[in-house]
Structure 1
Amino acid sequence: MGRRFGVRMFQSSSQHRLRHQRLPSHSDPDRPCLAMIRRPPQKLMVEKDVAASPMVQTLLQRLPRIPMTIVDRIADGNPFDPDLLEVVAFKGRFIKKCPGTQHYLCCGYQILHGGIQCNLDCSYCILQAYLNQPNLRVFGNTDDLFAELDAHLLANPHQLHRFGTGEFTDSLLLDPWTGASRRLVPFFARQPHAVLELKTKTDCIDNLADLPHNGHTIVAWSLNAESIRSGEESRAASIGQRLAAAKRCADWGYWLAFHFDPLLEHPHWEETYRQVVARLFDQIDPTRVVWISLGAFRFMPELKPIIQQRHPRSRIVYGEFIRGLDGKMRYFRDIRVGLYRVMADAIRQAAP
């Protein structure tokens, strides 16, 4: 499966380090699944340089009654407002290399940076520790993003490029209102040596239905045991909803990918992970899957008190950990090897 785009089937991921700020706690174990996803932003704050941009025009078309405030500049570190979407003119580089991790093999992923933050509020999310920007934020100067993409691809015409937008946010979380996929997917359809991965925990795929993708967009889902989904990522789509969305995308001709990351040691973990793998391939044709990645739970030490404060019911930081070569806390080697062996065996049995 993973050979189709020149990558290994099993990979591990890494994250970026940004400034630390605690985010407000808004966990609620009784909140219905998808409540945050399907509730659109309630107000916009827009920098004046992008007030007339295609991104803002799309937002206003899809949210016609939303109040909008236009300002010269939106400062970092504004107070947390769950109803607010910020639209800024991004001044940095849109394309970033995967930083990898020193002493570890890097996947060669290239990050396409189109926005910051996520309101799915998964207990283990690295964004809690890294980001000094608590509100949902998208970059309105998308013409600059595409200009940078054009220049980058032109400078490296024979290299295989694997881009993804899911590093600092969920790729499809805001897509029902920003419509970002409707420009990205056709763009990559025209690129002979580039593919785009859209990685999500949602089922927000309607914009993908009729797009000319030419097989150059991979739609990917993070998966976990259902007990982990309900306890640690309760605002995300259920596993069933994710797999149903994946099947629809496969029916539309898209290639698929799945990320079992983080793998978490928990009661009956071997049974529950085998169950979710079996469930995956009961519903999804394995010939449509181009890669699967595995990543055991790891975290920077400073994330532990944040998880304890924001998600007091979570037990994920109380396992057996050591500090790895990269400074992150990782399960003991025997635990990691056990997780990977079970997952690899389950995948090979279900999709030989």
Structure 2
Amino acid sequence: MKLFIPDIAYIDPRSLKYPAGKSVKEYLDKLNIPIINSRKVVIEGKSPQQNYAKAKRTVYITINLEKKLKSCKPSSDYQFSLSSSCPGHCEYCYLQTTQGEKPFMKVFVNIEDILSVIQQHIEINLPNITSFECGSITDPVALEHLTGNLKKCIEFFGSSNNGRLRVITKFDNVDSFLNINHNKHTKFRFSINTRDVINKFEHNTSTFEERISAAKKIATAGYPIGFIVAPIMIYDSWKDDYKELIHRLKVELEGYNDEISFELIQHRFTSTAKELILTRFPDTQLDMNEEARQLKWGPYGKFKYVYPKEKSSEIKEYISELIKTNFKNSIIEYFT
């Protein structure tokens, strides 16, 4: 897909002290993107929908001052951020309720400081291996062309004896990662779904074909890989569509003999998320009929609506069997 280009950029003056900050400004200048030097982002739409749409076309170039990284169990030991928010407009996104009415993208350019903090956390945990997730509040691949910082992270972890990196993405901008010394210390996990789900609900992300092509490139480059099949949805042709998805992955990854992990997540929503989604996407086709769901207590102190146990079990058994049948080298890490 085409690389994301913002309509407007705000630049924190502090970010221009860093090489990546200067290069981002030069990149945006060449594209004639309006730039405002400020430590405050101003978005003034006439409605919540306008605020959301404008925010998704706005970037804020700034720095990440986080010194103590948050836990990211069970995915990794810690999480860190190269950016926040992303250009995607996924209607069901779990970040809908956490990033406010104006989820503009922050892009952090002080990569030297970020890697220094990571190294400190690695050293504290020696001689153990320490793992890090960089996609908890963003899609780092979607914004990589602005800074090149994910490539620097992969190179850093490639030369680290005790650090490991996990990346999650719905984007196909992976070419810059193919010919670097990753040493198998970075694992790429692609968020995938059926054509129908992607086309209806995952706007401004890479297509079904583009993601599978990107996964093949990363696998061919020797990276450990995995797939997050999420959110799994029940609709008229869901079984045929998920069967097509898993079969296509099998065909494209023929010859990849290392372990392939799968994480399976059924569609869920909270009452707060439902209200916000209907505000931002009034014509959404998402199935959010609360009467057809059951309540499940979530890890962050909120009830969420999931499929009833009978349907949930059917999803788990059907998708798991598809994976086991098509991938002898697969491991299903969890279903939730």
| Residue ranges of structure 2 left out of the alignment (5+ in a row) | 45-50, 329-336
Match status 1:335 vs 2:308? no
1:94–1:112 contact (8 Å) kept in structure 2:
no
User: Within 2, Cα distance between the matches of 1:158 and 1:297?
Assistant: 39
Structure-2 residue corresponding to 1:302: 272
For residue 244 of structure 1, give the secondary structure of its aligned residue in structure 2. Answer: helix
Structure-2 residue corresponding to 1:74: 40
Structure-1 residue corresponding to 2:232: 263
- Evaluate the alpha carbon distance shift between residue 76 and residue 339 of structure 1 in structure 2; reply closer, same or farther with a 3 A threshold: farther
- Residue 341 of structure 1 deviates from its aligned partner by 0.8
| Residue ranges of structure 1 left out of the alignment (5+ in a row) | 1-33, 101-105
Q: Structure 1 residue runs of 4+, over 4 Å off?
A: 75-79
> Alignment partner for residue 149 of structure 2, among 180, 194, 206?
180
User: Within 1, Cα distance between the matches of 2:146 and 2:68?
Assistant: 21
* 1:235 counterpart letter in structure 2: N
- Residue 189 of structure 1 deviates from its aligned partner by 0.4
Structure-1 residue corresponding to 2:47: none
Structure-1 residue corresponding to 2:210: 241
Structure-1 residue corresponding to 2:88: 120
Q: TM-score, normalised by structure 1?
A: 0.81
- Evaluate the alpha carbon distance shift between residue 288 and residue 76 of structure 1 in structure 2; reply closer, same or farther with a 3 A threshold: farther
Using the aligned pairs only, state the percent identity. 21
* 1:117 counterpart letter in structure 2: S
* 2:279 counterpart letter in structure 1: Q
1:308–1:314 contact (8 Å) kept in structure 2:
no
User: Within 2, Cα distance between the matches of 1:124 and 1:94?
Assistant: 30
1:125-145 Cα shifts (integer Å, max 9, x gaps): 112211125211112222221
For residue 89 of structure 2, give the secondary structure of its aligned residue in structure 1. Answer: coil
Q: TM-score, normalised by structure 2?
A: 0.85
Structure-2 residue corresponding to 1:89: 63
- Evaluate the alpha carbon distance shift between residue 307 and residue 42 of structure 1 in structure 2; reply closer, same or farther with a 3 A threshold: closer
Structure-2 residue corresponding to 1:9: none
Higher relative contact order (CA 8 A, sep 6+): 1
- Evaluate the alpha carbon distance shift between residue 76 and residue 129 of structure 1 in structure 2; reply closer, same or farther with a 3 A threshold: farther
Match status 1:46 vs 2:11? yes
User: Within 1, Cα distance between the matches of 2:169 and 2:196?
Assistant: 19
- Residue 220 of structure 1 deviates from its aligned partner by 1.8
1:261–1:296 contact (8 Å) kept in structure 2:
yes
* 2:195 counterpart letter in structure 1: E
- Residue 42 of structure 1 deviates from its aligned partner by 3.9
User: Within 1, Cα distance between the matches of 2:68 and 2:170?
Assistant: 23
User: Within 2, Cα distance between the matches of 1:260 and 1:49?
Assistant: 39
User: Within 1, Cα distance between the matches of 2:76 and 2:151?
Assistant: 25
For residue 210 of structure 1, give the secondary structure of its aligned residue in structure 2. Answer: coil
For residue 324 of structure 1, give the secondary structure of its aligned residue in structure 2. Answer: strand
2:268–2:307 contact (8 Å) kept in structure 1:
yes
User: Within 2, Cα distance between the matches of 1:77 and 1:332?
Assistant: 41
- Residue 108 of structure 1 deviates from its aligned partner by 4.2
1:204-258 Cα shifts (integer Å, max 9, x gaps): 1121122211111112210111111111113211111111111111222222111
- Residue 203 of structure 1 deviates from its aligned partner by 0.7
Match status 1:318 vs 2:289? yes
* 1:323 counterpart letter in structure 2: L
1:74–1:88 contact (8 Å) kept in structure 2:
no
Q: How many residues align?
A: 310
